[in-house]
Amino acid sequence: MKQESQFSHVKQEWEKETEKTTERFPERKKDFKTSSDIPIDRLYTPEQESDSYIDKLGFPGQFPYTRGIQPTMYRSKYWTMRQYAGFGSAKETNKRFRYLLEQGQTGLSVAFDLPTQIGYDSDDPMAEGEVGKVGVAIDSLADMEQLFESIPLEKVSTSMTINAPASVLLCMYIAVGEKQGVPSEKLTGTIQNDILKEYIARGTYIYPPKPSMRLITNIFRYCQENAPKFNTISISGYHIREAGSTAVQEVAFTIANGIAYVDAALQSGMDIDQFAPRLAFFFNAHNQFFEETAKFRAARRIWAKIMKERYHAKNPKSWKLRFHTQTGGSTLTAQQPDNNIVRVTLQALAAVLGGTQSLHTNSRDEALSLPTEESARIALRTQQILANESGIADTVDPLGGSYYVEHLTNEIERKAMEYIEKIDTFGGAVQAVEDGYMQREIHQTAYDTQKRIEKKEEIIVGLNQFELEEEVNPDLLKVDETLEANQKERLTQIKASRDLDKVQDCLDRLGKAARNDSENLLPYILESVKAYATVGEICNVLREEFGEYTGI
């Protein structure tokens, strides 16, 4: 009682001093809010957080994992430093991969070009002008072999940002492993394989939702039996945030999509504890440092409760939300690109303090071009300095217990659950996507954000304030203009050298299997890949059977 009285007295004295200071120095704004419209109070004190410590926080490595999924976190092992890379040909990207590994990168992350992402070969008229531009061009197993030449797949974890044709690229990776003498059960890595967010925010879809969900659950089952160390999906909030969502919407829509994938797998006859431990997530890290840190903590807690209480998963590994983070591409400015190094550092710091399992740091020049070798090295060094020089990895959850962080964590959880419950009323994420609900929410948020920037209510340094009269840009990477012709020629040679009868037989069998809903398509796709059928040929067979999605 005496302690409470003393606390109240001290608080009252502080409030009096605050009133005097406010009169002398006007605040920068009348109202402070996060990007998710959460009001920010002047000060946070322990009396504002009345929930019990165990229910809301617990200890690291214990349910509900607010403080991290491992008891010792980075004191035992740093996060995986996985720089996203890919451009031009498989040979050029292989060179960049090997360079980054030499510089201390601890995992690979593959960026595919746009034709590959939407299932077209480099010689398809739809691919013209896009070959190798935003990622590496992969047409057949021959390209995948070249992509990982001299990179031992038994020692390297590989993430592949691929969605609609994820089954094809996964099979190519498995086939390359076999050629290296690495069986599929020893391969480690992740495929993004998250088609729902493509309909919501990104657009690299091919097939309608129902057959797309079938392919995803086919991958779940195949990997459970044949590649048990591979993460079968990376449920992605990154692109939802890049499309303009708030932090709360990013968490809510991502977890709603995760619920849809769990439901689909259960409906296919799988057991929750068989596939849930291999589900992974992928989040963005933006500039509002404390909100971002709290966002990761809230996401872990929400997922743990859903898996334990909604799905009654018994294996603690099923409760754990494991996630990769990439710093915010949409926050980078073409103006004064060196400023982006500072932005990326803050974003990476938030991801680490939020407990990420792996991290990609964007390069300073990505608002202008693909990153140069120098820019990619600076981005990697940012992670290495944080890990080795800052001390942030020396204790587990160093921001845990911050009144402000815990308040934001609670508010993000509450607001995200309101969205998830709303999506449940639609019948789940698939129906909400088909009705355009999440798309509309994101578009409205993006529009409101842009208006604030244009009115200078939201300051972007170098863009709408602190501009330079004359911009000086660094040297930029340029993709070789002869690449597309060279890639087409290489593809022609591969098609001419393979067994055409075998290719056609494999594709015919794939088409027949696609007509039978109970068939798992992965073995047929793997056979086709090994025969050097191309990405486009395999996807075209499935286009004929499944149709193409044209949007709402």
| pLDDT higher than threshold 80 for residue 48 | no
Average pLDDT, rounded, for the chain: 93
Distances (CA, A) of 57 to 230, 231, 298, 300, 312: 30, 27, 10, 11, 21
In this prediction, residue 492 has a pLDDT band, given cuts at 50, 70 and 90, of: very high
In this prediction, residue 14 has a pLDDT band, given cuts at 50, 70 and 90, of: confident
Model confidence over 279-293: pLDDT tens digits?
999 999 999 999 999
Residue 83 lies in a domain: yes
User: Residue 50: its pLDDT value, please?
Assistant: 46
In this prediction, residue 179 has a pLDDT band, given cuts at 50, 70 and 90, of: very high
Residue 499 lies in a domain: no
pTM for the full predicted model:
0.92
In this prediction, residue 156 has a pLDDT band, given cuts at 50, 70 and 90, of: very high
Structure tokens at 273: 């504890």
Tell me the average pLDDT across 134-150. 97
Q: What percent of the chain has pLDDT over 70?
A: 95
- Cα–Cα distance, 376 to 95 (Å, whole number): 13
Distances (CA, A) of 20 to 13, 16, 209: 11, 7, 59
Provide the number of structural domains found in the chain.
1
Contact present, 286 and 323 (Cβ < 8 Å): no
**Which helix (H) or strand (E) element contains residue 347?**
helix 339-353
| pLDDT higher than threshold 90 for residue 7 | no
- Cα–Cα distance, 459 to 49 (Å, whole number): 31
The DSSP bridge pattern shows strands 189-191 and 107-111 to be: unpaired
β-strand partners of 461: 465
Contact present, 392 and 171 (Cβ < 8 Å): no
Q: What is the residue whose two structure tokens read 């499935």?
A: 542
Residue 111 lies in a domain: yes
User: Residue 481: its pLDDT value, please?
Assistant: 85
User: Residue 312: its pLDDT value, please?
Assistant: 98
Residue 387 lies in a domain: yes
Model confidence over 227-278: pLDDT tens digits?
999 999 999 999 999 999 999 999 999 999 999 999 999 999 999 999 999 9
Range(s) of the domain holding residue 359: 53-454
Model confidence over 404-449: pLDDT tens digits?
999 999 999 999 999 999 999 999 999 999 999 999 999 999 999 9
Residue 305 lies in a domain: yes
User: Residue 58: its pLDDT value, please?
Assistant: 79
User: Longest C-alpha distance within the chain, in Å?
Assistant: 88
| pLDDT higher than threshold 80 for residue 531 | yes
Model confidence over 439-490: pLDDT tens digits?
999 999 999 999 999 999 999 999 999 999 888 778 898 888 899 999 999 9
User: Residue 402: its pLDDT value, please?
Assistant: 92
**Which helix (H) or strand (E) element contains residue 529?**
helix 522-530
Residue 27 lies in a domain: no
Tell me the average pLDDT across 295-323. 98
- Cα–Cα distance, 125 to 165 (Å, whole number): 19
- Cα–Cα distance, 224 to 165 (Å, whole number): 19
Bin 468: left if φ > 0, else alpha if -120 < ψ < 50, else beta. beta
| pLDDT higher than threshold 50 for residue 49 | no
User: Residue 57: its pLDDT value, please?
Assistant: 77
Q: What percent of the chain has pLDDT over 90?
A: 85
Structure tokens at 191: 């495929």
Packed helices 339-353 and 289-305: angle between N→C axes, nearest 10 degrees: 30
| pLDDT higher than threshold 90 for residue 109 | yes
The DSSP bridge pattern shows strands 230-231 and 279-285 to be: unpaired
**Residue 364, SS3 per DSSP:** coil
Three-state secondary structure of 412-468: HHHHHHHHHHHHHHHCCHHHHHHCCHHHHHHHHHHHHHHHHHHCCCCCCECCCECCC
Distances (CA, A) of 454 to 34, 48, 417: 18, 36, 31
| pLDDT higher than threshold 80 for residue 22 | no
User: Residue 2: its pLDDT value, please?
Assistant: 47
User: Residue 479: its pLDDT value, please?
Assistant: 84
β-strand partners of 88: 136
User: Residue 197: its pLDDT value, please?
Assistant: 97
User: Residue 30: its pLDDT value, please?
Assistant: 61
**Residue 161, SS3 per DSSP:** strand
- Cα–Cα distance, 224 to 220 (Å, whole number): 6
| pLDDT higher than threshold 90 for residue 13 | no
Strand order across the 233-236 sheet: 230-231, 189-191, 158-161, 107-111, 80-85, 358-360, 323-327, 279-285, 233-236
User: Residue 412: its pLDDT value, please?
Assistant: 98
- Cα–Cα distance, 299 to 412 (Å, whole number): 8
Beta-carbon count within 10 A of 294 CB: 31
Residue 212 lies in a domain: yes
User: Residue 28: its pLDDT value, please?
Assistant: 56
Distances (CA, A) of 303 to 99, 221, 420: 37, 22, 11
Distances (CA, A) of 35 to 30, 287, 387, 502: 16, 10, 28, 55
Q: What is the residue whose two structure tokens read 């204790």?
A: 395
User: Residue 1: its pLDDT value, please?
Assistant: 44
CATH number for the domain that contains residue 281: 3.20.20.240
Model confidence over 358-392: pLDDT tens digits?
999 999 999 999 999 999 999 999 999 999 999 99
Residue 494 lies in a domain: no
